[in-house]
Homo-oligomer: A and B are copies of this chain.
Amino acid sequence: MTDFAIGVDLGGTNLRIAAVDVEGRLIEKVTLGTRIALGSARVLDDMCDAIRRLSEKYQDGSNLLGIGIGVPGIIDMDTAMIRESPNLPGWSDTPVRKEIERRLHTRVILENDANSAAFGEKWLGAARHVDDMAIITLGTGVGGGIVLNGHIWHGMNGMAGEFGHTTIEPDGVLCGCGNRGCVEQYASASAVMRMAKAAIASGHAPALARAASSDPEFSAKAVYNLAVQGDADARRIFQQVGRALGILVANLVNSLNLPMYVVGGGVSSAWDAFSPNIFQELRQRCMVYAATAPPSHTGDQGASAQVDAKVSRNTIITRALLGSDAGLYGAARLPMIENQ
């Protein structure tokens, strides 16, 4: 058997652990609930138990290259501590890497979850043919990651890629970070819900109002379903998402001139509802995109567009291919690269 690594995606809801071999093949994946309420020590125990089980099971005849862990929030790369994480309340004083290393006696690489997702898409997903790329992850919040020359761009303290808190409306909606008009306030699942509630409150969005009152689990996904069915109010909400992402991507294209920008995370499954507005904003706002757009640049171009990017150096904006596994694969990849 070929060598393998263990990747962990530590989310606020789910804790996922996977053994992945150096060819990118999934060996085994374990999904647990993250028992946040029991405190960080118990969550780390759960994680380490699962890692131990997987590594013992597969270490016969092949080497465990290491453990990579994707964590939501801002990580201080020097201390490997979580600096700020809305999804892991109370973890900001936990020396996460040290605690895991103490339990497992193995070297551990800690990484921001969006950086892990970027690395996963670069290794096995939409960006596998390019060395430079950025990812925007749309979930409860909006995260991001940058890969340059095949490596995660951490910046000075490991805080690079916080695209969700860049400003697109200077006097816009107040964000939890203290800023106004953050991308996250217009392009996350929470933003979709905020806009849906505002539309319902206006009294002019009957289908949304009906869905909200009849569905006890009314969510961004339900708003998307209405948009797919053609409801104008739901469609407008995803047009707002696309506009916000379009301004963000236009700014990234003008600033970084990368060959590829990937949109991932749960909300990216609504790609067909918001992506036309991304391209509309890009065409209007972005001189570098105007100079580098592929011949057809009105939607998701899939694999053929990626080939174009290799040949003709166009700017490609596309959706992620690995879905919610991108961060898991990317986390597993971290110790492989470190060991090469």
Which residues of chain A from 123 to 146 have any CB-CB distance to chain B below 8 Å in the complex? 132, 144, 146
Once the chains bind, are B254 and A165 in contact (CB under 8 Å)? yes
B166 x A167 contact (CB < 8 A): no
Q: Are A155 and B258 in contact (CB under 8 A)?
A: yes
9 contacts between A and B (CB under 8 A): A157-B291, A159-B288, A160-B255, A162-B254, A166-B255, A169-B170, A179-B250, A180-B285, A251-B251
| A81: interface (CB < 8 Å) | no
Whether a CB of chain B sits under 8 angstroms from the CB of A178 is yes
Q: Report copies per complex.
A: 2
Interface residues on A, range: 35 or more
Question: Smallest distance from the beta carbon of A69 to chain B beta carbons, Å?
Answer: 20
**A56-98 Cβ-contact flags toward B at 8 Å (1 or 0):** 0000000000000000001000100001100000000000000
**Which B residue's beta carbon lies closest to that of A313?**
B156
**Chain B neighbourhood of A254, CB < 8 A:** 162-163, 165-166
A178 with B148: CB separation less than 8 A = no
Q: How far, in whole Å, are A160 and B153 apart by their CA atoms in the complex?
A: 16
Given the interface pairs A252-B255, A315-B156, the reply to whether A74 lies near B291 with Cβ below 8 Å is yes
Of A170, A255, A285, most buried by chain B (CB within 10 Å of CB) is A255
For the complex, is A276 an interface residue (Cβ under 8 Å from B)?
no
Does A7 count as interface, using CB distance less than 8 angstroms?
no
Q: Which residues of B contact A219 (CB under 8 A)?
A: none
> Which chain B positions have C-beta within 8 A of A322?
none
Whether B255 pairs with A291 at a CB distance below 8 angstroms is: no
Are A156 and B251 in contact, CB atoms less than 8 angstroms apart?
A: no
Q: Does A158 contact B (CB under 8 A)?
A: yes
In the complex, how many angstroms separate the beta carbon of A130 from the nearest chain B beta carbon? 9
| Residue in B closest to A182 when the chains form the complex, CB atoms | B285
Q: B167 touching A251 by the CB < 8 A rule?
A: yes
A254 to chain B, nearest CB (A): 4
The answer to whether A287 and B257 touch across the interface, beta carbons within 8 angstroms, is no
* A292 nearest in chain B by CB position: B157
Q: Which residue of B lies closest to A169 (CB)?
A: B170
Can you name the residue of chain B whose Cβ is closest to the Cβ of A252?
Answer: B255
A159: B residues at CB distance < 8 A: 257, 288, 291-292
Nearest CB on B from A287, distance (A): 5
Per-residue contact bits, chain A 174-204, to B (CB 8 Å; 1 contact, 0 not): 0001111000000000000000000000000
